[in-house]
Structure 1
Amino acid sequence: MTRVFLIHALRESVQPINTAFDAHWPEADRANLLDDSLSADRARDGELTDAMIDRFLILGRYARDAGADAILFTCSAFGPAIDAVAADLAPMPVHKPNSAMIDAALAHGGRIGLMASFAPTLQSMLPEFPDTTQIVTRHCAGALEALAAGNAAEHDRIAAAAAAESFGDCTLVALAQFSLARAARAVGEATGLPVLTTTECAVLALRKQVEG
């Protein structure tokens, strides 16, 4: 059985990715590592520091030493740190949370509406798209705070309203965080557009690489 370590910087990411595994790869042996000080420190610092990258390397090596066959990071605001872990642990599969969704969005084409509830995610993700990509970004302020307070319905309402306000000329909505996946239906209903989630795309891509 494949052992997959899921490494989280937001506690709100734990449930959505495990739900996606239940749906798309239930056979995987999952282990969850959570350090929510990572997201707090990332927001405080305003940039990805060398010290933060070192912390990611420690987490990756811990997962390796605990028997991981693959690692999936679940917070999209730490791209270069995840790249460092992937290089350190090669050839073990180490996946970013957003790479598979970006590939799917680019394959769809058109103008992409990219939404995040954690503002640093947009800063981290945009360089991963080709320069020629037509993209509109939106930070749905207040959604993550609502979810953290236990108000999932308000989280979904804020996300849907922000998408409807910002993505009228888009052909696709991409929800940039695992914690936003639960709002996919509401966003789709509000915009009338197809909606991609990082959770489903990430699980399917990792399973394909591991199992062939």
Structure 2
Amino acid sequence: MTTVVAVYTGQGLAEPLKAVFQEVLPGVRLVNIIDDSLIGDVVKAGHIPAGVSKRLTQYFQHGEELGADIILNTCSSVGEVADAAKGQLGIPLVKIDEAMTAKAAAEYNAIAVLATLPSTLEPTMRFLAKQAEAIGKEVTILNGLAVGAFDALVGGNPAVHDRILLETALTVSDKADAIVLAQGSMARMEGAIREATGKPVLSSPRLAAEQIKEMLAERGLL
């Protein structure tokens, strides 16, 4: 059976991504590897510690051993570790924000990146800049760090998290052609942010699933 192994650094995205896969890739087996200590270690250190890189790379390799046809890295904070690990695998590794950032770079000139953690915001902004550079385009990338939103969420106040996210989106949207949601777990806010700002809003889970569907189809695995 065609299999995708998704590697998570936290708990929040597993169920939403499962729902997306059931809709976009209903005949594909989705296997989850979750280590929710990873994002905690990244947040605490303020960067990606060597131990996180090592464990994450091992999880990608375990995914291949589990029979994956494609590995999906679901965390934008560790996307650069995924880039380094690609050469160690015999199967494709997809970063969850690849399709989203490519679409944003191709279609918009001023892009606000909304995130609740600097550890996610900064790699996403760098990746977006690389995607634009790859197509020979100059884009303006705006910092949309929603300060306090992450603490509210882990503190059990999702309503406060959502309010801060919306307020931040409104602050940066005036100068932006579009808004990119740096964390896949923020996809549930896509509609609300689009309605509040009147701007196009891009989130990663569905776009990643569609990218994987295309890759599997090209290899005759669907």
Superposition TM-score, scaled by structure 1 size: 0.92
Instruction: Show the 5 A alignment for 1:1-212.
Output: 1-90=1-90, 92-128=91-127, 129=129, 130=132, 132-212=138-218
Return the offset for 1:139: 1.3
Q: Is the 8 A contact 1:142 1:158 kept in 2?
A: yes
Specify the SS of the correspondent of 1:78: helix
Give the letter aligned to residue 6 of structure 1.
A
Return the offset for 1:85: 2.2
For 1:118 and 1:15, the matched residues in 2 are separated by 21
Return the offset for 1:19: 2.3
Return the offset for 1:150: 5.0
Return the offset for 1:104: 0.6
For 2:17 and 2:35, the matched residues in 1 are separated by 16
Aligned pairs, number: 211
Residue by residue over 1:148-207, the C-alpha shift from the partner in whole angstroms, topping out at 9 and shown as x without a partner, is 455444433221121011221211111011111111011111100111101111111111
For 2:30 and 2:154, the matched residues in 1 are separated by 23
Return the offset for 1:70: 0.9
C-alpha change, 1:185 and 1:171, in structure 2 (3 Å) is same
Specify the SS of the correspondent of 2:180: strand
Specify the SS of the correspondent of 1:179: helix
Q: Is the 8 A contact 1:10 1:35 kept in 2?
A: yes
Instruction: Select between 5-14 and 142-151 the one with higher mean Cα deviation.
Output: 142-151
For 2:215 and 2:75, the matched residues in 1 are separated by 20
Q: Is the 8 A contact 1:53 1:84 kept in 2?
A: no
Q: Is the 8 A contact 1:8 1:36 kept in 2?
A: yes
For 2:213 and 2:157, the matched residues in 1 are separated by 32
Instruction: Select between 7-16 and 32-41 the one with higher mean Cα deviation.
Output: 7-16
For 1:32 and 1:151, the matched residues in 2 are separated by 27
Q: Which consecutive unaligned segments of at least 5 residues does structure 1 have?
A: none
Superposition TM-score, scaled by structure 2 size: 0.88
Return the offset for 1:36: 1.0
Two-structure CA RMSD over aligned residues (Å): 1.7
Specify the SS of the correspondent of 2:76: coil
Q: Which consecutive unaligned segments of at least 5 residues does structure 2 have?
A: none
For 1:184 and 1:74, the matched residues in 2 are separated by 17
Give the letter aligned to residue 207 of structure 1.
K
Give the letter aligned to residue 72 of structure 1.
L
Return the offset for 1:2: 1.3
Give the letter aligned to residue 99 of structure 1.
E
For 1:149 and 1:14, the matched residues in 2 are separated by 20
For 1:13 and 1:145, the matched residues in 2 are separated by 17
Q: Is the 8 A contact 1:156 1:182 kept in 2?
A: no
- Work out which structure has the larger RCO, using CA pairs closer than 8 Å and 6 or more positions apart in sequence: 1
Identity of aligned residues (%): 30
Return the offset for 1:143: 2.7
For 1:182 and 1:154, the matched residues in 2 are separated by 15
